[in-house]
Structure 1
Protein backbone atom coordinates (compact mmCIF):
# COMPACT_ATOMS: atom_id res chain seq x y z
CA UNK A 1 0.00 0.00 0.00
CA UNK A 2 2.83 2.34 0.88
CA UNK A 3 4.48 1.66 -2.48
CA UNK A 4 1.28 2.45 -4.38
CA UNK A 5 0.87 5.76 -2.57
CA UNK A 6 4.47 6.73 -3.31
CA UNK A 7 3.99 5.91 -7.02
CA UNK A 8 0.80 8.03 -7.14
CA UNK A 9 2.55 10.90 -5.36
CA UNK A 10 5.48 10.66 -7.77
CA UNK A 11 3.15 10.70 -10.80
CA UNK A 12 1.35 13.75 -9.36
CA UNK A 13 4.63 15.63 -8.89
CA UNK A 14 5.73 14.79 -12.44
CA UNK A 15 2.37 16.03 -13.81
CA UNK A 16 2.72 19.33 -11.95
CA UNK A 17 6.28 19.76 -13.14
CA UNK A 18 5.22 19.21 -16.74
CA UNK A 19 2.64 21.97 -16.50
CA UNK A 20 5.23 24.36 -15.08
CA UNK A 21 7.61 23.58 -17.94
CA UNK A 22 4.84 24.26 -20.48
CA UNK A 23 4.04 27.61 -18.87
CA UNK A 24 7.68 28.67 -19.07
CA UNK A 25 7.94 27.86 -22.75
CA UNK A 26 4.86 29.97 -23.51
CA UNK A 27 6.50 33.05 -22.01
CA UNK A 28 9.39 32.79 -24.49
CA UNK A 29 7.25 33.72 -27.49
CA UNK A 30 9.18 34.66 -30.62
CA UNK A 31 6.77 37.51 -31.43
CA UNK A 32 7.80 39.40 -28.29
CA UNK A 33 10.07 42.39 -28.95
CA UNK A 34 12.77 41.02 -26.66
CA UNK A 35 13.03 37.80 -28.66
CA UNK A 36 13.27 39.68 -31.96
CA UNK A 37 15.89 42.00 -30.54
CA UNK A 38 18.03 39.14 -29.22
CA UNK A 39 18.17 37.67 -32.72
CA UNK A 40 19.00 41.05 -34.29
CA UNK A 41 21.73 41.75 -31.77
CA UNK A 42 23.25 38.31 -32.23
CA UNK A 43 23.53 38.96 -35.97
CA UNK A 44 25.01 42.43 -35.48
CA UNK A 45 27.40 41.19 -32.81
CA UNK A 46 28.99 38.83 -35.34
CA UNK A 47 30.06 41.80 -37.46
CA UNK A 48 30.52 44.58 -34.92
CA UNK A 49 31.85 42.69 -31.87
CA UNK A 50 30.05 44.52 -29.04
CA UNK A 51 31.30 44.87 -25.50
CA UNK A 52 28.98 43.71 -22.72
CA UNK A 53 28.06 47.31 -21.88
CA UNK A 54 27.31 48.10 -25.52
CA UNK A 55 25.15 45.00 -25.82
CA UNK A 56 23.06 45.97 -22.78
CA UNK A 57 22.60 49.53 -24.00
CA UNK A 58 21.76 48.45 -27.54
CA UNK A 59 19.32 45.85 -26.27
CA UNK A 60 17.36 48.59 -24.51
CA UNK A 61 17.52 50.85 -27.60
CA UNK A 62 16.34 48.08 -29.93
CA UNK A 63 13.49 47.07 -27.61
CA UNK A 64 12.38 50.69 -27.29
CA UNK A 65 12.41 51.02 -31.09
CA UNK A 66 10.37 47.83 -31.53
CA UNK A 67 7.80 48.91 -28.94
CA UNK A 68 7.50 52.40 -30.43
CA UNK A 69 7.10 50.99 -33.92
CA UNK A 70 4.36 48.60 -32.84
CA UNK A 71 2.49 51.35 -30.98
CA UNK A 72 3.00 54.42 -33.14
CA UNK A 73 4.08 53.32 -36.62
CA UNK A 74 2.66 49.89 -37.47
CA UNK A 75 -0.62 50.47 -35.66
CA UNK A 76 -3.69 50.43 -37.92
CA UNK A 77 -5.35 53.12 -35.77
CA UNK A 78 -2.62 55.68 -36.61
CA UNK A 79 -2.99 57.73 -39.80
CA UNK A 80 -0.30 57.35 -42.46
CA UNK A 81 0.88 60.93 -41.99
CA UNK A 82 1.25 60.47 -38.23
CA UNK A 83 2.90 57.08 -38.71
CA UNK A 84 5.45 58.59 -41.11
CA UNK A 85 6.24 61.43 -38.68
CA UNK A 86 6.50 58.99 -35.78
CA UNK A 87 8.78 56.71 -37.78
CA UNK A 88 11.14 59.59 -38.57
CA UNK A 89 11.18 60.67 -34.91
CA UNK A 90 11.88 57.18 -33.56
CA UNK A 91 14.46 56.42 -36.25
CA UNK A 92 16.35 59.59 -35.35
CA UNK A 93 16.27 58.74 -31.64
CA UNK A 94 17.49 55.21 -32.42
CA UNK A 95 20.31 56.50 -34.64
CA UNK A 96 21.42 58.87 -31.88
CA UNK A 97 21.46 55.98 -29.41
CA UNK A 98 23.53 53.91 -31.83
CA UNK A 99 25.99 56.77 -32.45
CA UNK A 100 26.35 57.38 -28.73
CA UNK A 101 26.87 53.70 -27.88
CA UNK A 102 29.05 52.42 -30.72
CA UNK A 103 32.62 53.43 -31.41
CA UNK A 104 33.24 55.50 -34.54
CA UNK A 105 34.50 52.45 -36.45
CA UNK A 106 31.54 50.31 -35.35
CA UNK A 107 29.07 53.07 -36.23
CA UNK A 108 30.60 53.54 -39.69
CA UNK A 109 30.46 49.79 -40.30
CA UNK A 110 26.84 49.66 -39.07
CA UNK A 111 25.90 52.50 -41.46
CA UNK A 112 27.72 50.74 -44.31
CA UNK A 113 25.61 47.63 -43.64
CA UNK A 114 22.59 49.63 -44.82
CA UNK A 115 21.28 50.89 -41.49
CA UNK A 116 20.20 54.50 -41.29
Structure 2
Protein backbone atom coordinates (compact mmCIF):
# COMPACT_ATOMS: atom_id res chain seq x y z
CA UNK A 1 0.00 0.00 0.00
CA UNK A 2 2.85 2.34 0.88
CA UNK A 3 4.55 1.65 -2.48
CA UNK A 4 1.34 2.37 -4.41
CA UNK A 5 0.84 5.65 -2.55
CA UNK A 6 4.44 6.65 -3.26
CA UNK A 7 4.02 5.90 -6.97
CA UNK A 8 0.77 7.88 -7.15
CA UNK A 9 2.34 10.89 -5.40
CA UNK A 10 5.35 10.73 -7.71
CA UNK A 11 3.13 10.50 -10.81
CA UNK A 12 0.99 13.47 -9.70
CA UNK A 13 4.09 15.54 -8.93
CA UNK A 14 5.58 14.80 -12.34
CA UNK A 15 2.28 15.56 -14.06
CA UNK A 16 2.07 19.03 -12.49
CA UNK A 17 5.75 19.66 -13.17
CA UNK A 18 5.38 18.85 -16.87
CA UNK A 19 2.37 21.15 -17.22
CA UNK A 20 4.27 24.02 -15.60
CA UNK A 21 7.26 23.55 -17.89
CA UNK A 22 5.01 23.37 -20.96
CA UNK A 23 3.16 26.55 -20.00
CA UNK A 24 6.42 28.42 -19.48
CA UNK A 25 7.80 27.21 -22.82
CA UNK A 26 4.73 28.42 -24.72
CA UNK A 27 4.87 31.90 -23.21
CA UNK A 28 8.58 32.24 -23.99
CA UNK A 29 8.21 31.04 -27.58
CA UNK A 30 5.82 33.79 -28.66
CA UNK A 31 8.58 36.40 -28.84
CA UNK A 32 10.98 34.25 -30.89
CA UNK A 33 11.45 35.38 -34.51
CA UNK A 34 10.75 31.88 -35.85
CA UNK A 35 7.39 31.70 -34.08
CA UNK A 36 6.35 35.17 -35.24
CA UNK A 37 7.43 34.39 -38.81
CA UNK A 38 5.63 31.04 -38.77
CA UNK A 39 2.36 32.67 -37.73
CA UNK A 40 2.73 35.39 -40.38
CA UNK A 41 3.63 32.82 -43.04
CA UNK A 42 0.54 30.79 -42.18
CA UNK A 43 -1.63 33.90 -42.60
CA UNK A 44 0.03 34.76 -45.90
CA UNK A 45 -0.26 31.20 -47.18
CA UNK A 46 -3.98 31.28 -46.56
CA UNK A 47 -4.52 34.80 -47.92
CA UNK A 48 -2.24 34.58 -50.96
CA UNK A 49 -2.33 30.85 -51.74
CA UNK A 50 1.40 30.30 -51.44
CA UNK A 51 2.91 27.03 -52.63
CA UNK A 52 5.56 25.14 -50.66
CA UNK A 53 8.60 26.87 -52.16
CA UNK A 54 7.04 30.30 -51.77
CA UNK A 55 6.12 29.52 -48.18
CA UNK A 56 9.68 28.52 -47.30
CA UNK A 57 11.17 31.59 -48.96
CA UNK A 58 8.64 33.91 -47.32
CA UNK A 59 9.32 32.27 -43.94
CA UNK A 60 13.08 32.88 -44.30
CA UNK A 61 12.51 36.50 -45.32
CA UNK A 62 10.18 37.09 -42.36
CA UNK A 63 12.63 35.48 -39.93
CA UNK A 64 15.41 37.75 -41.22
CA UNK A 65 13.15 40.77 -40.79
CA UNK A 66 12.13 39.80 -37.25
CA UNK A 67 15.72 39.10 -36.21
CA UNK A 68 16.77 42.48 -37.58
CA UNK A 69 13.88 44.24 -35.85
CA UNK A 70 14.58 42.59 -32.50
CA UNK A 71 18.30 43.23 -32.76
CA UNK A 72 18.34 46.77 -34.13
CA UNK A 73 14.93 48.40 -33.61
CA UNK A 74 13.05 46.94 -30.64
CA UNK A 75 13.22 49.19 -27.60
CA UNK A 76 14.88 52.06 -29.46
CA UNK A 77 13.52 55.44 -30.49
CA UNK A 78 12.23 55.07 -34.05
CA UNK A 79 12.68 58.82 -34.59
CA UNK A 80 16.47 58.52 -34.41
CA UNK A 81 18.08 58.63 -37.85
CA UNK A 82 20.12 55.42 -37.44
CA UNK A 83 17.15 53.40 -36.15
CA UNK A 84 14.85 54.75 -38.85
CA UNK A 85 17.45 53.98 -41.54
CA UNK A 86 17.84 50.42 -40.25
CA UNK A 87 14.06 49.92 -40.24
CA UNK A 88 13.79 51.21 -43.79
CA UNK A 89 16.65 48.91 -44.86
CA UNK A 90 14.95 45.86 -43.31
CA UNK A 91 11.60 46.78 -44.84
CA UNK A 92 13.22 47.24 -48.25
CA UNK A 93 14.94 43.84 -48.00
CA UNK A 94 11.61 42.20 -47.14
CA UNK A 95 9.86 43.91 -50.07
CA UNK A 96 12.61 42.79 -52.46
CA UNK A 97 12.40 39.20 -51.21
CA UNK A 98 8.62 39.23 -51.52
CA UNK A 99 8.76 40.71 -55.02
CA UNK A 100 11.16 37.95 -56.14
CA UNK A 101 9.10 35.21 -54.50
CA UNK A 102 5.49 36.17 -55.14
CA UNK A 103 3.68 36.46 -58.44
CA UNK A 104 2.65 39.95 -59.54
CA UNK A 105 -0.91 39.39 -58.34
CA UNK A 106 0.23 37.98 -54.98
CA UNK A 107 2.71 40.83 -54.51
CA UNK A 108 0.05 43.47 -55.18
CA UNK A 109 -2.29 41.77 -52.71
CA UNK A 110 0.52 41.56 -50.13
CA UNK A 111 1.26 45.27 -50.51
CA UNK A 112 -2.42 46.07 -49.91
CA UNK A 113 -2.42 43.85 -46.80
CA UNK A 114 0.60 45.66 -45.33
CA UNK A 115 -0.64 49.22 -45.93
Whether 2:109 is the aligned partner of 1:113: answer no
Report the TM-score, using the length of structure 2 for normalisation: 0.78
TM-score by length of 1: 0.77
Aligned residues: 113
The answer (yes or no) to whether the contact 1:74–1:83 under 8 Å persists in 2 is no
What is residue 33 of structure 1 aligned with on the other side?
33
1:98 paired with 2:103, answer: no
Runs of 4 or more above 6 Å deviation = none
| CA distance in 2 between partners of 1:21 and 1:67 (Å) | 29
Equivalence map 1:1-116=2 (5 Å): 3-29=1-27, 30-76=30-76, 80-115=80-115
Q: Matched residue of 1:27: which SS? A: helix
1:23 Cα deviation from its structure 2 partner = 1.2
Query: How far apart are residue 53 of structure 1 and its match?
Result: 2.6
Aligned counterparts of 1:76 and 1:112: Cα–Cα separation in 2: 27
- Structure 2: segments with no counterpart, 5+ residues: none
Higher mean alpha-carbon deviation, 58-67 vs 25-34, is at 25-34
